[in-house]
Amino acid sequence: MVKILTYFIAIFFLFGCKNEEKSSSEVITTSEISIKKKENFGIVIHGGAGTILKKSMSDSLETAYKAKLKEAISIGYEILKNGGTSLEAVTHTINVMEDSPLFNSGKGAVFTHEGRNELDASIMDGKTLKAGAVAGVRHIKNPINLARDVMQNSEHVMLFGAGAEEFAKGLGYKMMDTSYFYTQNRYESLQRVLEKEKAQNEKKVSFEDPYIKNSKFGTVGCAALDKNGNLAAGTSTGGMTNKRWNRIGDSPIIGAGTYANNATCAVSSTGWGEYFIRSVVAYDISALMEYKGMTLQEAASEVIQKKVPALGGDGGIVAIDKDGNVAMEFNTAGMYRATMNSEGELVIKIYKEE
Active-site residue numbers?
219
**DSSP letters spanning 68-123:** HHHHHHHHHHHHHHTT--HHHHHHHHHHHHHT-TTSSSGGGPPP-TTS---EEEEE
**Closest of 272, 270, 332, 281 to residue 47, by C-alpha:** 270
227: Cα separation from own chain's centroid: 18
Which spans in the chain are helix H?
2-38, 59-81, 86-98, 143-153, 161-170, 184-201, 210-214, 273-279, 281-292, 296-302, 308-311
3-state secondary structure of 183: coil
Contact 47, 103 (CB under 8 A): yes
Report d(CA 241, CA 116) in Å as an integer.
10
Q: What is the CA radius of gyration of the chain?
A: 25
Report d(CA 92, CA 94) in Å as an integer.
5
